[in-house]
Structure 1
Amino acid sequence: MLPELKPLQLPQFVDERPVSPFQYVVIILCGLVMFLDGFDTQAISYMAPYIASEWNLPRQMLGPIFSSSLAGLMIGYLVLTPLSERFGHKKAIIVSTIVFSLCTLASVWADNVTELMILRFITGVGLGAAAPSAIAMTGEYSPKRFRATFVLAIYCGFSLGFIAAGLAANWFIPHYGWRSMFWIGALAPLMLVPVLIRFLPESMVFMIHRKVAAERILKIFRKIDRAVARQEKPTFIVDALEQGQGQRGALASLFTPDRVLGTVLLWLVFAINLGEFYALQSWLPSIMTGLNYPMSTVVMATTLTTVGGIAAAFITGPSMDRLGAYKTLGILYLVGFVCVALTGLAFKSPLWMLLTANFLAGCCISGGQKSLIALAAVFYPAPIRSTGVGWALGIGRIGGITGPIVVGAALGMGWSPSSVFYAMAVPMLIAGLLVLFLGRRYGSSTL
């Protein structure tokens, strides 16, 4: 007869132990999902000038093509993400990966704007369901002392996908045409699906709430810590506060009296950051192509914005865990106000200054986006983390959708690239002030 030991409690069980190889596997798999998300999201930006040339499209028409997948992302975040709290994060990740890979494959045969926009929209829906669950899984399997760092780490996978898209575009598009990028973006996630099925675990909190067989849950606990003894009738406890939130309902729990202001202001900051992010990533290749830079330079400049975001994560992640999430992110946005404005000046300067400005702007915009997601992952407890992050990303996609359209309209009205970037600097200042205010309101109680 196996002994009955004291209950195993979450999140304390994870928080009190060293990070195991099993947990690193979970984080790496979630990072791979984010990598493929980033590749698919950015690849269309490099294809766009060639699509416009082949289909004889005016430059303004590229904005809706960029934004169609972002609209799908918003639907995925808002509508499908709460379903992961009901059916499990693992299922959500696998099903959504299959959906966006098949729709990307179908895009190979699109031959007009309408077909491409529809397929990009559905692709976005699939991508939108995968990312919040990957972030939630990473947050759950990470000790609190490393949570922001690990969430930033997997979101660096998203940025690495952006870099990989640029490198692939520089090679494949000249040799095999723009449709080759869709082939890569479809086959890679399909190859990942069997790996996810085999090695990605389900959320422990989800399994406990759904009263899954105790033996299955205990196996996951023992993979994290082999010192955990086998038990005849293992029992599990989820932190009382988080358990109560789960019973209330994930979406309703975003608007409890002590959380509603934070939720609304987080949404606003997400909208600002995502508007800046997608405007920069969508239009920078086309702007620089229009300024007669070669493709290699265009890829380098766009890649540097992404590299800047990754470089920033090495600083902001540990800083958020040790010195405070709100102060770190607020200062980053205020620095971004200056750097984005400098990018506008750099269009009239030597190339090395423009590339440097792109890198610094990426540190603050792309790095700020990663840090903001890490902040949301810490702000919301485990049972509502996927919904909290998903809805923040979903509402934020309103900014992501309008950002490329607004920039396209400004360029269509004759605005210079410099003027566009001067205007883009102002929202960074607003975002910084909002985050610092959130820190005064929630910094001591939430983190």
Structure 2
Amino acid sequence: MTRFDVEAFIDRSRIGATQAMALFVCILVCFIDGYDIFMIGKIAPAIAAGFGEPSEAMAPLFVYQQIGLAVGAFTISPLADRFGRRAMLIFTCLTFGIITLLSVYAQTLTQLAILRGIGGIFMAAGLGMSMAMISEITPKRRRSTFIAVALAGYSMGSASSGVVAAWLLDDFGWQSAFWIGGLVPLICVPLLILFVPESLKFRAERNPSDRSIAKTLRRIDPSVELRGDELFVIEGGETSGRKARLSDVFSEGRLAMTTVIWLACAISMTNTALMSAWLPTFFQEMAGVPIQEFAKVALIAYMGGVVGTLCIGWLMDRLPATMLLAFFYFMLAGALISLSWVPFHSGLFIVVALAWSFFQTGGQGGINTMIAQVYPPRMRSTALGWAGGAGRIGGILAPLGGAFALAQHYSLQLTMTFAATLPICVALLMLLLGLVMRGRRFSDGQPAQA
């Protein structure tokens, strides 16, 4: 049989309609992930008021949501390495969309919290599966950039949640946020079914003799020459159809690397969860800034996240990844402290808020991009999902910390200074990761430069 290198084919192919549609769908998935994470925090006081509860009563909702996200990241993500990225994206988008729409009819805050927790299970792996799909359908020379473009959807989702708080909340209530959050993932389902093929690398590693791979190859490049007796392989990979095991992320010398990445994700996503859940409330309760006013400024600031995500992808194609990420997280710490000292109504506050969003979203996007490149295709979704799961564990504690700061009547300056210690820890872990990764190269895919 003729060996056909799928990896080499993808790397030399041009970007066409198939890759463009896959990118568009992954942008939508990342959009709903960013929207969903930040949406609740921006309208938390309004939701609490709608159920006749104080703002602190929202803490269980944040915790349930983070628990659901953690459970889903550890359980759903590995299924994408078993059944395929496309199949699991269809399932998770459909389920999450329906559950989110049902949330509109919750009668108590407890019911809403339970629905958020269940919904989180099914959408937790969406971003990781999208990153795996993008990394496996795009040429190496554009891979980081395409991942960054998809992750920009996360920042656009964050910004769009501000639209709800700024303009829809007063007229349509908190329920309007859930209508948007439920309909977008449902839109992804027919697009995935009709226009996006399953990952070629996933199929080649599962069954090198799969004849349907040839059809997808011709879909990407009609001029490709195939004889009909090809054995589809990945350069340096197996041809035995080996299935992913959960232990693979720790095997073959990956234990130290995976451990440091998990720690970095846990601390980074703790910071993100804290800010997404409580930042508008911090400014309302500690600085007297109404959530509608903060939402309008945040809407501008989150554009910094879009730029940060695009920049990190472009930069990671050119600079050592771990050094670059350490710089991003040190700058994020400075931006968090500055947010609490710069007057809210000054022009400088918008600049600082833009910097905060730029470095926070760009930094996390950079970590996700790096993960997508240092693990082989057969375990890529598992690696992304489990790293995200480690991050969600930290996210479970973050809402409790925010509620404690409010209950203790901490000042905004003290609260944000404590928060700034989190990105400093991530920066130090990135420097450590550079030492761990230096000199190591894995057989599948090229890791980002250490």
- TM-score (norm: length of structure 1): 0.93
Comparing 385-394 with 373-382, greater Cα deviation is found at 373-382
Partner of 2:294, secondary structure, is helix
Q: Output one character per residue of 1:302-330: Cα deviation in whole Å (capped at 9) or x when no partner.
A: 33442222111232211111112112111
With over 3 angstroms needed to count, the CA separation of the structure-2 counterparts of 1:295 and 1:426, relative to structure 1, is: closer
Q: Are 1:125 and 2:113 matched, yes or no?
A: no
User: 2:222 corresponds to which residue?
Assistant: 226
When you count helix as a share of all residues, which structure comes out higher?
1
Q: Are 1:365 and 2:360 matched, yes or no?
A: yes
User: 1:79 corresponds to which residue?
Assistant: 75
User: 2:262 corresponds to which residue?
Assistant: 267
Comparing 50-59 with 322-331, greater Cα deviation is found at 50-59
Asked if the contact 2:26/2:130 (under 8 Å) is kept, the reply is yes
Partner of 1:229, secondary structure, is coil
Partner of 2:76, secondary structure, is helix
Partner of 1:247, secondary structure, is coil
Indicate the RMSD between aligned Cα atoms, in angstroms: 2.0
- Of residues 304, 312, 317, the one that matches 1:316 is 312
Name the aligned partner's letter for residue 371 of structure 2: A
Q: Are 1:94 and 2:106 matched, yes or no?
A: no
Comparing 87-96 with 252-261, greater Cα deviation is found at 252-261
With over 3 angstroms needed to count, the CA separation of the structure-2 counterparts of 1:112 and 1:247, relative to structure 1, is: same
Asked if the contact 1:305/1:366 (under 8 Å) is kept, the reply is no
Q: Are 1:65 and 2:65 matched, yes or no?
A: no
Please list, as runs of the form range in 1=range in 2, the aligned pairs for 1:130-209 lying within 5 A after superposition. 130-209=126-205
User: 1:355 corresponds to which residue?
Assistant: 350
Structure 1 CA distance for aligned equivalents of residues 49 and 388 of structure 2: 32
Comparing 398-407 with 264-273, greater Cα deviation is found at 398-407
Structure 2 CA distance for aligned equivalents of residues 342 and 238 of structure 1: 48
- TM-score (norm: length of structure 2): 0.92
User: 2:375 corresponds to which residue?
Assistant: 380
Structure 2 CA distance for aligned equivalents of residues 232 and 62 of structure 1: 59
With over 3 angstroms needed to count, the CA separation of the structure-2 counterparts of 1:260 and 1:196, relative to structure 1, is: same
Comparing 229-238 with 134-143, greater Cα deviation is found at 229-238
Structure 2 CA distance for aligned equivalents of residues 73 and 410 of structure 1: 24
Report deviation, 1:397.
0.7
With over 3 angstroms needed to count, the CA separation of the structure-2 counterparts of 1:233 and 1:208, relative to structure 1, is: same
Asked if the contact 1:214/1:233 (under 8 Å) is kept, the reply is no
Asked if the contact 2:131/2:372 (under 8 Å) is kept, the reply is yes
User: 1:326 corresponds to which residue?
Assistant: 322
Report deviation, 1:273.
0.8
Partner of 1:57, secondary structure, is coil
Structure 2 CA distance for aligned equivalents of residues 21 and 98 of structure 1: 24
Q: Are 1:46 and 2:33 matched, yes or no?
A: no
Structure 2 CA distance for aligned equivalents of residues 288 and 337 of structure 1: 18
Asked if the contact 1:92/1:129 (under 8 Å) is kept, the reply is no
Report deviation, 1:153.
1.4
User: 1:441 corresponds to which residue?
Assistant: 436
Q: Output one character per residue of 1:387-418: Cα deviation in whole Å (capped at 9) or x when no partner.
A: 00100000111112212221221221111111
Q: Output one character per residue of 1:239-288: Cα deviation in whole Å (capped at 9) or x when no partner.
A: 334668x7373321111251111101101110111111121122122223
Unaligned runs of 5+ in 1: none
Asked if the contact 1:336/1:428 (under 8 Å) is kept, the reply is yes
With over 3 angstroms needed to count, the CA separation of the structure-2 counterparts of 1:301 and 1:71, relative to structure 1, is: farther
- Of residues 241, 247, 250, the one that matches 1:252 is 247
Q: Output one character per residue of 1:161-207: Cα deviation in whole Å (capped at 9) or x when no partner.
A: 11112113322221111112212222232233112111111111222
What percent identity do the matched residue pairs reach? 31
Q: Output one character per residue of 1:74-116: Cα deviation in whole Å (capped at 9) or x when no partner.
A: 1111011111111111110000001111111110111112211
With over 3 angstroms needed to count, the CA separation of the structure-2 counterparts of 1:182 and 1:439, relative to structure 1, is: same
Partner of 1:201, secondary structure, is coil
Partner of 1:377, secondary structure, is helix
Asked if the contact 2:66/2:395 (under 8 Å) is kept, the reply is yes
Partner of 2:317, secondary structure, is helix
Q: Output one character per residue of 1:114-160: Cα deviation in whole Å (capped at 9) or x when no partner.
A: 21111000110111132221111011112222222211211111111
User: 1:23 corresponds to which residue?
Assistant: 19
Structure 2 CA distance for aligned equivalents of residues 60 and 20 of structure 1: 50
Partner of 2:233, secondary structure, is strand
User: 1:286 corresponds to which residue?
Assistant: 281
Structure 1 CA distance for aligned equivalents of residues 439 and 359 of structure 2: 25
User: 1:418 corresponds to which residue?
Assistant: 413
Unaligned runs of 5+ in 2: 442-446
Alignment size in residue pairs: 441
